[in-house]
Amino acid sequence: MDLGLGGRGYLLTGASRGLGFATARALVDDGARVLISSRSAGSLDAAVSSLGTAASGVPADLADPEAAERLVAEARERLGQVDGALVSVGGPAPGTVLETVEDDWRAGVENVLLGPLRLVRALVPHLSDGAVIAFVLSTSVRQPIGHLAISNGLRPGLAMTAKALADELGPKGIRVLGLLPGTIATDRIAEIEAASGDAGAMRARTEAGIPLRRVGRPEEFGRVAAFALSPAASYLTGTMIAVDGGVTRAL
């Protein structure tokens, strides 16, 4: 299938590694141009080098109130027309509902909710018919994940905000959707497994609860995201797409 990505330009946040990078890889491989951002300048440089001449990078942290306007200005300058965005931010601090301190909740609101919303507000005036905004969320949108109280509380709110945006922007021909990754073999997952004290045992427990009996590969997520961002998915909006090996039990 020709996704129609040739020559199109995309802004991707949190994309120096993991799911964002896998999506950038899929987009570039199909002919798109990308501007990626990350909090780490070092990992950003390595990612841009790996992606090749169709990619450029800008260090940015969406929790910084000034980052959104700067990112959009850079995207317009480097890409010309911005045809879409993948909005991804780092996961909030782990913990249970009762043990998580208020400062971590406030930081989560700034990072998970307000940062993405500032970027959308800055970007929308420059989008035209056929553009798309995709939020990288989590299966916590549909069912809680143990020891991730902040994510369980905030990701569903951003998912509902995405659905409301789909209503608001649909008349302009702009699509909005969410992607719900399950356990994907990224560096972050490896770090969580290592912190458990027995990475192999934790991986085995995780895989036992997944119908496909394995964790996902980043490129599997990236291909789904690239399709959702492409003109081939032109009638897809206001929906949440689970990329989770079947682990989500809700419809």
- Average confidence (pLDDT) per 10 residues, the chain, 251 residues: 94 96 98 95 94 97 94 97 94 91 95 96 97 97 92 96 98 98 90 85 94 97 98 98 95 82
Residues 6+ apart with CB under 8 A from 152: 140, 144, 145
Instruction: Note the pLDDT of residue 89.
Output: 87
Domain containing 55: what range?
9-186+218-243
Question: Number of structural domains, the chain?
Answer: 1
Smallest CA-to-CA distance from 234 within 137, 141, 132, 158 is with: 132
The answer to whether position 197 is within a domain reads no
Instruction: Note the pLDDT of residue 102.
Output: 95
Instruction: Note the pLDDT of residue 143.
Output: 94
Instruction: Note the pLDDT of residue 189.
Output: 85
Q: How many residues does the chain have?
A: 251
The answer to whether position 204 is within a domain reads no
- Cα separation, 69 vs 98, whole angstroms: 36
Instruction: Note the pLDDT of residue 6.
Output: 96
Instruction: Note the pLDDT of residue 101.
Output: 96
- CA 163 to chain centroid, in Å, comes to 16
Q: Which two tokens stand for residue 22?
A: 């896998």
The answer to whether position 194 is within a domain reads no
CB atoms within 10 A of CB 82: 20
The answer to whether position 205 is within a domain reads no
Beta strand segments in 95-167, E = 132-136
The answer to whether position 131 is within a domain reads yes
Instruction: Note the pLDDT of residue 187.
Output: 85
Helix (H, G, I), strand (E, B) or coil at 58: strand
Residues 6+ apart with CB under 8 A from 21: 15, 36, 47, 218, 222
Instruction: Note the pLDDT of residue 146.
Output: 86
**Using H for helix, E for strand and C for coil, what is the string for 176-223?**
EEEEEECCECCHHHHHHHHHCCCHHHHHHHHHHCCCCCCCECHHHHHH
Instruction: Note the pLDDT of residue 188.
Output: 81
The answer to whether position 203 is within a domain reads no
Whether 71 contacts 58, CB under 8 Å: yes
The answer to whether position 95 is within a domain reads yes
Instruction: Note the pLDDT of residue 90.
Output: 80
Residue 86 sits in a domain whose CATH number is 3.40.50.720
